[in-house]
Chain A
């Protein structure tokens, strides 16, 4: 290939000296990392999220005995207020408040994680199908999401959960997935529609790529960012949703330990002077939801270059 390399080597002298050279690898995700690492909100929220996750999967690190263990709760301790020795006091059932809160974390977080995984899978698959194939597929998927959007979230969840004879992590997650997947479908559909128009999709097709290959490699990689943001924010709101449903009596049932149940127990006793029964579980819920939503927020700022 002597003459070609000679010819092209000669002809590259000019345009190889472009301003970009081969400088630092500033990729989309590289930029995102840079944006995140210099944001204090990111550090605060991710430390909180890390602690929350640690608490849900390894509660014994924070509180050695589960309130469900035999002998862990003594009725004699019921509603004992916080003291210097026990700053969290005891619950209405006489269990240690701190260990109840710690061991209850996992219940909420597990539902939120399961729900998020479910909604992401459903939303990404249906949104991609609707955006990519268009036509009849799009019409059907979009109309189905419209129907689900029409269902009021809380009312729908209460009705569905009331139907189930047993309510556990699976049924609660299932209902939340059923009512929550549509927003991800819409976001994904719009995102895929935008990516589909890009020249590199045509270029890939011109190079003999199959539909499935283009979707898997080119479309997903370019349209997943808004879904990541929405899913992170969703994690927070599903924790809140689980607590709400449990509080209303259609979520977890006793003897499960969960934040919603603690709030439920506490609400009647606040004005009787036992405000710690309500304040502690509420604070845990608020901080957890806030941590996830803040994390989603900084992720959105970092992933959306236009907002910079």
Chain B
């Protein structure tokens, strides 16, 4: 690995004489990224939609956290709240903290926080084609990052852009740097997105369904690339997905979300082997399996709750096979489960035992 691609602190501040983040007291000994009791609301005509209700998790260096959940459960909103790119209004961060190296980003001034993005935390979007500006070459879009954030000259920035494209495995990067986004294939475009996210050597990467728009073979390559780069750069990676297979391969920890709540947190092996929340269990059971060919597929009956009108008690109780009367009245807090896990179910013991 050459010096430019290895992570070094000095590299980031080598651009403009005073880095806008130099005034921020990041504590290198504090955990990399901690999210605590994050709450996000959307004010709509139909009332307040609580998209995220007190989600907490943390990611360390070189660690991968998978956030799992079906559409509309608040995965992407959580990611956007961490990045600070929610559209406000209608969205509003109602409470909680997002701490990067001990500094609460939610309390930070927007002017400073802007520089945290890309320099410290970066994001990879789902649809790489629409996430790249169609009127500029990928080289321009990449080099603009170096020029704006690090004050690099046109020539330097271009050279760095080629280097980044090479790093993410784009063949003939020197020629392709002048191509436009539509001239790349889906997998290549996602590689370009990864290059852009990694360009300023952030510490945390949030990947919001990075492989959903790709076909299966390319999915595997892109995930492999992400995993390799993460190991190399000791990145904290938050992988948001609804694909149980992708998470199983890459993640160290898993956070399962349902209707804006983190319902189960555990390491990846425990989650798959012996889920402690009925929702996780139901999700795993609904994966089609070759050895059950011909049988009816187990599905989770019903629909996720409307966010403006969540059921009282546990949000999952109308669809839960374990539900009892208590679930309709009392909202379960996160119960600690042996093995350093946690589950938001009153009857987690039953779920684990079954």
Interface check B171, CB cutoff 8 A: yes
List 29 A-B residue pairs with CB atoms under 8 Å apart, sorted by A's residue number. Answer: A1-B2, A2-B1, A3-B228, A3-B232, A4-B167, A7-B225, A8-B225, A8-B228, A11-B169, A12-B221, A16-B188, A18-B184, A20-B183, A22-B175, A22-B176, A28-B134, A199-B125, A200-B131, A202-B85, A203-B123, A206-B83, A206-B122, A206-B123, A207-B117, A207-B145, A207-B196, A208-B149, A208-B200, A209-B114
Q: Mark A1-38, 1 if CB is under 8 A from B, else 0.
A: 11111011101101110111011011111000000000
The answer to whether B148 and A213 have CB atoms under 8 Å apart is yes
The answer to whether A28 and B148 have CB atoms under 8 Å apart is no
Q: Mark B99-128, 1 if CB is under 8 A from A, else 0.
A: 000000000000000111111001101010
The answer to whether B135 and A15 have CB atoms under 8 Å apart is no
What 4 pairs between A and B have smallest CB-CB spacing?
A8-B169, A18-B185, A15-B187, A208-B118
Given contacts A199-B130, A202-B131, A213-B148, contact A221 B136 (CB under 8 A): yes
The answer to whether B221 and A9 have CB atoms under 8 Å apart is no
Residues of A in contact with B (beta carbons under 8 Å apart): 1-5, 7-9, 11-12, 14-16, 18-20, 22-23, 25-29, 198-200, 202-210, 213, 217-218, 221-222
The total of chain B residues at the interface (CB under 8 A) is 58
- B-side interface mostly: helix
Chain A residue, CB-CB nearest to B175: A22
Alpha-carbon gap, A2 to B2, bound state (A): 10
The answer to whether B135 and A221 have CB atoms under 8 Å apart is yes
A29: chain B residues at CB < 8 Å are 135
Residues of B in contact with A (beta carbons under 8 Å apart): 1-2, 5, 83, 85, 114-119, 122-123, 125, 127, 130-136, 144-145, 148-149, 166-172, 175-176, 178-180, 182-188, 193, 196-197, 199-200, 217-218, 221, 224-225, 228-229, 232
The answer to whether A1 and B148 have CB atoms under 8 Å apart is no
B200: chain A residues at CB < 8 Å are 208
A217: chain B residues at CB < 8 Å are 133, 136, 144
Q: Which of B115, B168, B217 contacts A208 (CB 8 A)?
A: B115
The answer to whether A15 and B117 have CB atoms under 8 Å apart is no
Given contacts A1-B1, A18-B188, A207-B145, contact A221 B133 (CB under 8 A): yes
Alpha-carbon gap, A214 to B148, bound state (A): 12
Given contacts A4-B232, A12-B170, A22-B172, contact A203 B132 (CB under 8 A): yes
Alpha-carbon gap, A5 to B175, bound state (A): 18
B135: chain A residues at CB < 8 Å are 27-29, 221-222
B132: chain A residues at CB < 8 Å are 200, 203
Chain A residue, CB-CB nearest to B221: A11
The answer to whether A14 and B217 have CB atoms under 8 Å apart is yes
Alpha-carbon gap, A1 to B148, bound state (A): 26
A203: chain B residues at CB < 8 Å are 123, 125, 131-132, 193, 196
The answer to whether A16 and B122 have CB atoms under 8 Å apart is no
Given contacts A208-B114, A208-B117, contact A25 B179 (CB under 8 A): yes
The answer to whether B85 and A206 have CB atoms under 8 Å apart is yes
The answer to whether A22 and B218 have CB atoms under 8 Å apart is no
Other than the given A15-B218, A198-B130, 10 more pairs (CB < 8 A) read A1-B167, A4-B169, A7-B169, A11-B224, A14-B221, A20-B184, A28-B134, A199-B127, A207-B196, A208-B114
The answer to whether A1 and B187 have CB atoms under 8 Å apart is no
How many Å from the CB of A227 to the closest CB on chain B? 15
Chain A residue, CB-CB nearest to B6: A1
The answer to whether B180 and A25 have CB atoms under 8 Å apart is yes
How many Å from the CB of A75 to the closest CB on chain B? 60
Alpha-carbon gap, A28 to B134, bound state (A): 8
The answer to whether B134 and A222 have CB atoms under 8 Å apart is yes
Chain B residue, CB-CB nearest to A2: B1
A202: chain B residues at CB < 8 Å are 85, 125, 131
The answer to whether B183 and A205 have CB atoms under 8 Å apart is no
A5: chain B residues at CB < 8 Å are 166-167, 169
A1: chain B residues at CB < 8 Å are 1-2, 5, 167, 232
